[in-house]
């Protein structure tokens, strides 16, 4: 057995065992601190950096990262965009995306910085369309040519609201604690739009770290380090990966993804929503039936007072004042109390001397056994009720599956 394993959750594939990769110790921020003096620089707080690798998807991350340690609101994430080869890479990826867009597109850039990438797209379309950049840090040059939102993009809410043709997220995912959540929510946000929504994503790629053993890649602001495999794993969670390639000599990796949620997954969410509406209606209907029983003045016993029977009592409001009589087949439970409502549970023999007119059996799946027990023990009742399809139904006289 290998002892060098760590219990932690991979932010890309959710695998829960990782292997130690690089213990960088405690270091200050490297790029977003902007200290004003040598003294301030030396006094900066230090943060734990312990990089681990997921053996399943090969992702590398700092398992001690805290997003709150980074002042994104106060300080810009300055990216140097003027190198010649880099500018060629920017132009290439911009054209890759432009080729997929309609004449007058809506483009949202998440973590846009001063907005150069989305501005480049706007210029290529001569301003025709809507171009929105999101970044919690606003700068003066941000607004030129694009509409600028000085806040985080909330994919579940903002994607349907902006109805983009493309979402770009460049050099952002490696800063996030949970990049998978961002991708899932983008896919869901786009699924409701009924039109193709392209995602262009780009991050640094650490494939070369394995060849070269270099360590300077690992600084606090980048908790996530993508390999080709882990980046692909992440992208596949957002939809159909149409293109995935490297740029800048293999130092960055990017993908063009058609955002989508599989039809069966969407259908399950719809079914859950229907169940939730139905559950609310069912609960109201059965609560009303219990009210009627109370109004009828009949002596009612609830058979069972723990587990699912207690859940029935809770969900339908069968309180101790209106439903004081709770019995159980198990003599060991007699004398204990229903959690939450407080009826004292009695052994079922109490019904022999003082019969109930109505017996409610919350555990309908064992009602047949309980009814047999009642017959065997000579416990009579006018009516036995069970919960079925949003009503209390008569076990002997109405249709049900039990
Ligand atoms: Zn993983």
Question: HEC states along 12-28?
Answer: CCCCCEEEEEEEEEEEC
The pLDDT of residue 75: 67
Q: How confident is the model at residue 144 (pLDDT cuts 50, 70, 90)?
A: low
- Dihedral sign for Cα atoms in the order 355, 356, 358, 360: negative
CA 2 to ligand 1 center in whole angstroms: 19
CATH 3.40.50.720 is the classification of domain 281-394: yes
Q: How confident is the model at residue 107 (pLDDT cuts 50, 70, 90)?
A: very high
Q: How confident is the model at residue 217 (pLDDT cuts 50, 70, 90)?
A: very high
The pLDDT of residue 139: 66
Rounded to 5°, angle at Cα 282 from 351 and 276: 135
CA 173 to ligand 1 center in whole angstroms: 15
CA 11 to ligand 1 center in whole angstroms: 7
Q: pLDDT at residue 293 above 80?
A: yes
Q: What is the pTM of this model?
A: 0.87
Query: In this structure, which residues have their CB less than 5 angstroms from ion ligand 1?
Result: 10, 12-13, 15, 54, 56-57, 59
CA 56 to ligand 1 center in whole angstroms: 5
CA 174 to ligand 1 center in whole angstroms: 14
Distance CA 61, CA 110 (A): 22
The pLDDT of residue 189: 97
Q: Are 226 and 253 in contact (CB under 8 A)?
A: yes
DSSP three-state, residue 85 = helix
Same CATH fold assignment for domains 84-265 and 281-394: yes
Q: pLDDT at residue 206 above 60?
A: yes
Distance CA 141, CA 225 (A): 30
Residue 325's CB is within 10 A of a number of other CB atoms, namely 20
The tens digit of pLDDT for each residue in 44-85 reads 999 999 999 999 999 999 999 998 888 877 766 666 677 788
CA 12 to ligand 1 center in whole angstroms: 5
Q: pLDDT at residue 248 above 80?
A: yes
CA 13 to ligand 1 center in whole angstroms: 4
Q: Any idea which fold 84-265 has? A: Rossmann fold (3.40.50)
Domain ranges of the chain: 6-69, 84-265, 281-394
- DSSP for 23-65 reads EEEEE--SSS---SSHHHHHT---EEEEEEE-TTT--EEETT-
Distance of CA 282 to the CA centre of its chain: 28
The pLDDT of residue 359: 98
């Amino acid at each position: 057995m290998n002892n060098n394993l760590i219990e932690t959750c991979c932010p890309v594939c959710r695998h829960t065992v990782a292997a130690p990769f690089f213990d960088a110790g405690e270091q200050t921020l490297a790029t977003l601190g902007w200290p004003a003096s040598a003294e301030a620089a030396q006094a900066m707080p230090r943060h734990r950096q312990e990089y681990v690798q997921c053996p399943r998807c090969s992702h590398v991350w700092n398992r001690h990262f805290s997003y709150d340690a980074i002042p994104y609101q106060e300080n810009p994430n300055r990216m140097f965009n003027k190198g010649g080869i880099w500018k060629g890479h920017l132009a290439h990826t911009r054209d890759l995306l432009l080729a997929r867009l309609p004449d007058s597109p809506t483009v949202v850039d998440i973590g846009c910085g001063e907005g150069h990438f989305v501005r480049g797209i706007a210029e290529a379309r001569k301003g025709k369309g809507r171009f929105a950049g999101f970044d919690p840090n606003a700068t003066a040059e941000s607004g030129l040519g694009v509409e600028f939102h000085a806040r985080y993009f909330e994919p579940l809410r903002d994607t349907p609201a902006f109805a983009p043709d493309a979402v770009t997220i460049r050099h952002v995912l490696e800063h996030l604690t949970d990049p998978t959540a961002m991708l899932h929510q983008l896919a869901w946000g786009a699924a409701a739009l009924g039109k193709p929504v392209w995602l262009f994503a780009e991050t640094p790629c650490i494939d070369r770290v394995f060849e070269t053993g270099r360590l300077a890649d690992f600084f606090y602001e980048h908790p996530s380090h993508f390999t080709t495999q882990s980046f692909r794993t992440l992208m596949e969670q957002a939809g159909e990966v149409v293109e995935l390639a490297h740029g800048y000599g293999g130092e960055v990796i990017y993908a063009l993804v058609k955002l989508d949620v599989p039809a069966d997954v969407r259908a399950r969410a719809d079914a859950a929503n229907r169940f939730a509406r139905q559950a609310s209606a069912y609960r109201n209907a059965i609560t009303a039936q219990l009210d009627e029983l109370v109004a009828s003045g009949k002596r009612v016993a609830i058979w069972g007072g723990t587990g699912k029977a207690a859940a029935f009592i809770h969900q339908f409001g069968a309180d101790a004042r209106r439903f004081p009589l709770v019995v159980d087949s198990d003599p060991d439970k007699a004398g204990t109390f229903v959690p939450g409502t407080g009826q004292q549970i009695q052994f079922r023999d109490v019904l022999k001397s003082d019969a109930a007119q109505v017996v409610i059996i919350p555990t309908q799946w064992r009602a047949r056994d309980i009814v047999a027990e009642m017959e065997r023990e000579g416990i009579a009742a006018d009516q036995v009720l069970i919960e079925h399809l949003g009503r209390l139904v008569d076990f002997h006289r109405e249709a049900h599956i039990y």
